Structure 1
Amino acid sequence: MKAINVRTILVGLLLLVFPLSQAWADKCQDAAQLFKNAGDSARFFENAYGYAIFPSIGKGGIGVGGAYGKGCVYEQGRQIGTATMTQVSIGFQLGGEAYAQIIFFQDKRALDEFTSGNFEFSANAQAVAITAGASASASTAGSSTSLSGGKKDAVTKGFGYNKGMAVFVIAKGGLMYEASLAGQKYKFTPL
């Protein structure tokens, strides 16, 4: 009798969780569509081995800041897991913002590096900001960022893979002085 009750409870929990995970996958697909329509990031979908997409990352700080987002990880068009991104930063920063982020993986080695455990970008990592509202400091020291007039007309100059990864962001709202990839930590969870 107890086994039936436990089984019934487990089935009930799975039915509750499935719609939530399906809804999250839909958010990832919606965000992917934004990047597919946004200039040069679209071409990466054609040749990337895989990608991780974060539909919404929230970031804020006053001196000490933080960011968090949840996303989906794809290998050759098939979702293989989820990932979370966390970031803690100390230094001159003020404000808050929300943005979508996609990380393209050039090959299996780059995807394996990202999914091997806790991944963190190095200090020279760079991202291309796709909207005009994004801060010009959307990349870390020494990198260049091209800005465009809107989500569907991004312009990027000479940007490609760096160590097997290419990162693009679309600003969703807010205003913050400071935006970098350095210190972003990612945790992958397979399906």
Structure 2
Amino acid sequence: MKAIKQVCLFLLICSMPLVANTQSKKDQKVIKEADQAAKTLLEVNPGIRHYFKNSAGYVVFPNVGKGGLIVGGASGNGVLYQDNKRQGMAALKELNIGFQAGGQALIEVIFFEHKADVEKFKEGYFEFDAGVSAVALHEGKSLDLKYEKGVAVFTHSKAGLMAEASVGAQKFKFHPFK
């Protein structure tokens, strides 16, 4: 009986790292950065708290790299939150064309108005076109953005400078946590 208990205890201890480490190191880094990015946005403009509290869900992309010269693009990885819980990892890809020059790093947060909008994102049927615009967050600036097509998008520049008048689309992929 004692040997069975020892074997069970040994198996339990050996399996703990598998349970605790369900996300890759890259995902863990993005999760940490996404949590920090949300805190940064709240510090820059506390008015965004309303969106964090009242949305059906949101996805935080803590490091979106964007650049271009005539043809441009952007990409980043993020975390989807629903009911204040992490649901999974998201990837953003953007391709655009038009007048643009430069590069920048930014935080992007997409707030979903309804649960159906979150589910649409999770199922992979979600992309932005020219009809959805993002609001750049500035310290102390009033936030009066309304949801468009079920989403509200905020960005905050971290570094770089980019002049842009382009048309393109953002596409997203979602991978739930297991």
TM-score (norm 1): 0.75
- Rounded Cα–Cα distance in structure 1 between residues aligned with 2:119 and 2:171: 15
CA gap of 1:179–1:54, structure 2 versus 1, over 3 A, is: farther
| 2:142 aligns with one of 152, 155, 160 | 155
Q: CA RMSD in A?
A: 2.4
- Rounded Cα–Cα distance in structure 2 between residues aligned with 1:49 and 1:24: 22
**What is the CA-CA distance between 1:39 and the residue it aligns to?**
3.4
Q: Is the 8 A contact 1:69 1:84 kept in 2?
A: yes
Indicate the residue corresponding to 2:30 in structure 1: 24
More strand per residue:
2
Q: Is the 8 A contact 2:67 2:73 kept in 1?
A: yes
- Rounded Cα–Cα distance in structure 2 between residues aligned with 1:117 and 1:16: 22
SS at match of 1:155: coil
CA gap of 1:174–1:78, structure 2 versus 1, over 3 A, is: same
**What is the CA-CA distance between 1:180 and the residue it aligns to?**
6.8
More helix per residue:
2
Q: Is the 8 A contact 2:27 2:89 kept in 1?
A: no
**1:86 lines up with 2:68 in the alignment:** no
Q: Is the 8 A contact 1:63 1:90 kept in 2?
A: yes
SS at match of 1:25: helix
TM-score (norm 2): 0.80
Indicate the residue corresponding to 2:160 in structure 1: 174
**1:114 lines up with 2:121 in the alignment:** yes
- Rounded Cα–Cα distance in structure 2 between residues aligned with 1:172 and 1:93: 18
Question: Cα deviations across residues 105-153 of structure 1 (Å, max 9, x unaligned)?
Answer: 122111011111152113210111113xxxxxxxxxxxxxxxxxx3xx2
Which amino acid in the other structure matches residue 27 of structure 2?
S
Which ranges in structure 1 are unaligned for 5 or more consecutive residues?
Answer: 1-7, 132-149
**Of the two, which has the highest radius of gyration?**
2
| Fraction of identical pairs, as percent | 38
- Rounded Cα–Cα distance in structure 2 between residues aligned with 1:109 and 1:59: 29
SS at match of 1:117: coil
Task: Say which is worse superposed, 105-114 or 116-125, in terms of deviation.
Answer: 116-125
- Rounded Cα–Cα distance in structure 2 between residues aligned with 1:16 and 1:74: 17
Indicate the residue corresponding to 1:189 in structure 2: 175
Which amino acid in the other structure matches residue 163 of structure 2?
Y
* Aligned pairs, number: 160
- Rounded Cα–Cα distance in structure 2 between residues aligned with 1:15 and 1:40: 35
CA gap of 1:15–1:159, structure 2 versus 1, over 3 A, is: closer
- Rounded Cα–Cα distance in structure 2 between residues aligned with 1:181 and 1:74: 28
Indicate the residue corresponding to 2:107 in structure 1: 100
CA gap of 1:18–1:110, structure 2 versus 1, over 3 A, is: same
Indicate the residue corresponding to 2:62 in structure 1: 55
- Rounded Cα–Cα distance in structure 2 between residues aligned with 1:103 and 1:15: 27
